[in-house]
Amino acid sequence: MGPEQIRRWESGALAHAVSDPFGQGPVPWLRGTETYFGDTGQVVPWYVDPDAPGDQGTADVPPKIPFPRATGSSRATTSRRTAGGPRSADDVSRQIKGFISTGAVAPGEAVDFHVTVDPPQEFGVDIYRIGHYGGDGAAKITTSPRLSGIVQPPPLTADRTVSCHHWWLSWRLQIPSYWSIGAYVAVLTTCDGYRSHIPFTVRDDHPADLLLLLPDVTWQAYNLYPEDGRTGASLYHAWDEGGRLLGESDAATTVSFDRPYAGAGLPLHVGHAYDFIRWAERYGYDLAYADARDLHAGEVDPTRYRGLVFPGHDEYWSANMRRTVETARENGTSLVFLSANTMYWQVELAPSPSGVPNRLLTCRKRRGPGRPVLWREVDRPEQQLVGIQYAGRVPEPHPMIVRNADHWLWEATGAHEGDEIDGLVAGEADRYFPRTPLPEHDNRILLAHSPYADAEGALRHQETSLYRAPSGALVFASGTFAWTPSLDRPGHVDTRVQRATANLLDRICKRD
């Protein structure tokens, strides 16, 4: 393993100084590893291609992933096929990397893909929709024609901000009117067997019970592209001249959406949202989809839904986002926060150099003069909306301790007062701050109170909160990263959490 690869690994999950209790590794995917190979050397799929020729697998043998399509019978292609299938692209060699220059799109609109391929060669794009799909996790929706790949210009950098807005358009995908709304992943594969990903969202304004909001603003805040030991930067990290990873004081203050995601092309923590999607679609909840930037831009009217669900790590909020969600709550729309450290940093969104709205994300944190950017430091603590707020990192998973077990949230879960749900306090934790104002409420309850040790060994505690606003809206906050993995992630499923979540959503959706 060379120094470049070592730097890439260090800049993954380890760079953020948190343990990885969900087995995500540097790429937070759900059905396999970064390189898609298991212990036996066989490809481990995170999706299944129903149209793949050959063996579709049995209960004991996983189905085979089709190898990249060949344009000819060259020895190089044959050798790569024999070598074991697709491999993950990286940010050093940039075998294949890409991004979309559009935000969430509606059926009938287009998604613009900008892709670099090195060495230049043809590539294909397979489009998958995230869902349950019998346990596969995603289903293939369509495949592009063979596309000509070129080496795009190097990323542009200015004061740590990295942008690829100058890349040429590689492919325009027109979204058919009959496509289902939802979370999608474009899988890019070169002829010589390298693979990368681009997530995107298809949304519309049709009525639904629940609006699912994907935290693309927070995803971009963590994006260190390119993880090359030289130019990449996020709101957390950057590199020095020796290829060492620097901390927040030297990180970017502005990051661009006009660039790929680092590594294999999937955002850090993306799996948390996908866990919820698979579980909710399996049980038939009526979902609409949008991105956090849609909240900011006023592209969706959240008051039209019974509830807003924030399924993933959602740390970075603009003033528009908060104002819109507070208005929804005041109009009777319930809020469901299924992670921790929600709405911690205040951010600004600005146009790209070419004038496209909401392509630059700014959070000044501790650099230089100016107003504070923590919500709690501008007298608007997150607890006033969420009901609890960020307390700290959880170095090792701890059990969640059930509290107020006679509450309807715990009904039919089998949970009793003081029961432990193993590993459910993990990643980061929230709690109630007694000296911080609470939101207006008709009633309020804490449903878990869970001790854990922080990185210094000090005793802390996590709490799970539920309150009813004067409008009748319910506001739930899990207070932990581990809630959504307990819904559908292999090795982390807990039936008590599944039933508690169903109890909450059923009440919000007015189900019997």
> What CA–CA distance (Å, rounded) separates 374 from 464?
22
CB atoms within 10 A of CB 282: 15
Please name the amino acid found at residue 389.
Answer: Q
What DSSP character marks residue 47?
S
User: Model confidence at 387, in pLDDT bands (50, 70, 90)?
Assistant: very high
Whole-number percent of the chain with pLDDT over 90:
65
The torsion of the CA quartet 499, 501, 504, 509, rounded to 10 degrees, works out to -100
Q: Give yes or no for residue 289 having a pLDDT over 80.
A: yes
If one compares 154 and 61, the residue with the highest pLDDT of the two is 154
Tens digits of per-residue pLDDT, 184-229?
A: 999 999 999 999 999 999 998 888 999 999 999 999 999 999 988 8
Token duo for residue 293: 């930037």
**Residue 228: what pLDDT?**
85
Domain 270-508 bears CATH identifier 3.40.50: yes
Q: Which of 391, 380, 395 is nearest to 431 (CA)?
A: 391
User: Model confidence at 507, in pLDDT bands (50, 70, 90)?
Assistant: very high
**Residue 365: what pLDDT?**
83
Token duo for residue 467: 């309150």
Whole-number percent of the chain with pLDDT over 70:
82
Q: Give yes or no for residue 15 having a pLDDT over 60.
A: no
Q: Give yes or no for residue 51 having a pLDDT over 60.
A: no
Global pTM value: 0.86
CATH topology agreement for domains 3-202 and 270-508: no
Query: What's the whole-number mean pLDDT along residues 441-459?
Result: 95
The torsion of the CA quartet 76, 79, 83, 89, rounded to 10 degrees, works out to 10
Highest mean pLDDT among 39-43, 49-53, 350-354: 350-354
Assign 43 to helix, strand or coil. Answer: strand
Q: Give yes or no for residue 18 having a pLDDT over 90.
A: no
> What CA–CA distance (Å, rounded) separates 162 from 254?
9
Q: What is the mean pLDDT of the chain?
A: 83
Domain ranges, ordered by start, for the chain: 3-202, 270-508
Domain 3-202 bears CATH identifier 2.60.40.1930: yes
Question: Among all chains, which residue has been given the structure tokens 């707020």?
Answer: 389
Give the Å distances, CA to CA, from 450 to 423, 426, 463: 11, 11, 6
Query: What's the whole-number mean pLDDT along residues 5-30?
Result: 32
Tens digits of per-residue pLDDT, 398-430?
A: 999 999 999 999 999 999 999 999 999 999 999
